Amino acid sequence: MSVSETIRLEDAIISTLNYFNLFKRPLNTEEIYSFLTKQTDVKRLQLVLNEMVSCGLIFEHSGHYMLVDNKEFVTERERGKKRADILLDKAIDSVNLISKFPFVSAVCISGSLSKGYANAQSDIDLFIITDKKRLWICRTLLHLYKKLTFFWGKEHSYCMNYFIDESKLCIEEQNIFTATELATLLPVYNVEKHRELIYANKCWLVKTLPNISWNSDMIVASVEKSTARRIVEPFINILAPSLLNLSLMHLTDKWWRLKWRRKKYPMKDYDLAMKTRWYVSKNHPHNYQKRVLNQLDGNKQKVAAML
């Protein structure tokens, strides 16, 4: 490997570690390989990692690499993995219930849990694909149910903060943040639909994270609808569903804008954080995408100085 290629690989490694350092998460070699923005092989990567540790550019503890010399990050990651394993069983129960609601096409676990980590306050974040032009009907029914879960303290088990219509699966925000989120989704209900999601985004995903296989080969799998869905869906489908769908979208958007203006939310961020279209619904008031990307941009000069 030439000196210039080594430098570029080092730069990509530091960028990857920097991304996960925002979450105080050290990475092992396999994870660095997967989330690296530069194409390479594991053997070459390991050689460069060893050299970077020897030079003090990065630090290694128990097979995990990080930008700061802090063993506690590895210890906390191990504790977080144990908590995530326990929470994952609850998450699957949540998905099994949600899959019985009308117009739910697929459900994936997302957020920190999908990355194998949970702290004491972690929610169960869910990424939901809906039937064509039924997103806002589906979302409304699910969130009406979530309101009921407050009565028995289960609201954190149903953080349904991203819905997408199955007819428009290509994600518009194509960057390292969304690529990482797609790469770590855990499909639970309707794996075939998850593969369609990956296929719809594969062109830009391969360019962003080139070392991931991004397997989108279609599989034949029947998805059994619950009895409630077989009864309720045909009934809704005769009630001008397209008009109902759009009406619920406009009503939700109107309510959200009023709510967040009252809370002094920066409305310039609203369209990204609470994206409301007929084909997508995001409810990310913390706007992690913007915060993470801004922090990464702000650290570019530091990375360049290290090299």
* pLDDT exceeds 70 at position 185: yes
User: b/e per residue, 205-224, with b = 16+ CB within 10 A?
Assistant: beebbebbebeeeeeeeeee
Residue finishing a domain among 21, 47, 69: 69
Give the pLDDT confidence score for residue 221 in this predicted structure. Answer: 58
Q: Output the pLDDT for position 304.
A: 54
User: Are 52 and 176 within one domain?
Assistant: no
Range with lowest mean pLDDT among 48-57, 119-128, 133-142, 284-293: 284-293
Share of the chain above pLDDT 90, in %: 75
Which pLDDT score is estimated for 218? 58
One domain, residues 176 and 103: yes
Residue 293: pLDDT band by 50, 70, 90 thresholds? confident
Instruction: Note whether residue 297 is domain-resident.
Output: no
Residue span of the structural domain in which 131 resides: 79-292
* Whether residue 86 sits in one domain with residue 64: no
What is the number of structural domains in the chain?
A: 2
Give the burial class of 230: count Cβ atoms within 10 A of its Cβ; 0-12 exposed, 13-18 middle, 19 or more buried.
exposed
pTM exceeds 0.85: yes
Residues 93 and 61 in one domain: no
Q: What pLDDT does residue 24 have? A: 86
Angstrom distance (rounded) from CA 214 to CA 194: 11
* Residue 14 pLDDT: 94
**Can you tell me the distance from the alpha carbon of 32 to that of 55, in angstroms, rounded to the nearest whole number?**
18
User: What CA–CA distance (Å, rounded) separates 5 from 81?
Assistant: 35
* Token pair of 129 as six digits: 């694909």
Residue of higher predicted confidence among 40 and 221: 40
Residue 61 sits in the same domain as residue 26? yes
- Asked if 29 and 110 sit in the same domain, the reply is no
* Co-location of 11 and 130 in the same domain: no
**Is the confidence at residue 63, as pLDDT, over 90?**
yes
Tokens 């990204």 -> residue = 272
The verdict on residue 228 lying in a domain is yes
Q: Say whether both 84 and 63 belong to one domain.
A: no
User: Is 274 a member of any domain?
Assistant: yes
Helix (H, G, I), strand (E, B) or coil at 99: coil
Domain final position from 69, 102, 118: 69
Q: Per-residue confidence at 244, pLDDT binned at 50, 70, 90? A: very high
Q: Are residues 171 and 244 in the same domain?
A: yes
Q: How far apart are CA 243 and CA 189, in angstroms?
A: 28
Please report whether residue 104 resides in a domain: yes
Confidence of residue 89 (pLDDT cuts 50, 70, 90): very high
Mean predicted confidence (pLDDT) in 149-163: 91
Instruction: Give residue 4's pLDDT.
Output: 75
Query: What average pLDDT score do residues 216-227 get?
Result: 71
Percentage of the chain exceeding pLDDT 70: 94
Three-class secondary structure of residue 104 per DSSP: strand
Q: Looking at 50, 69, 88, which one is the last position of a domain?
A: 69
pLDDT at 301: 57
Domain-located, residue 304: no
Compute the average pLDDT of residues 146-152: 91
Residue 112 lies in a domain: yes
pLDDT at 23: 85
- Residue among 57, 55, 116 nearest 87 (CA): 116
The overall average pLDDT reported for the chain is 91
CATH value at residue 59: 1.10.10.10
What whole-number distance in Å separates Cα of residue 117 and Cα of residue 85? 8
Q: How many whole angstroms separate alpha carbon 130 and alpha carbon 134?
A: 7
135, 162: one domain = yes
Instruction: Mark whether 12 and 99 lie in a shared domain.
Output: no
More confident residue, 44 or 285: 44
243 and 127 in one domain?
Answer: yes
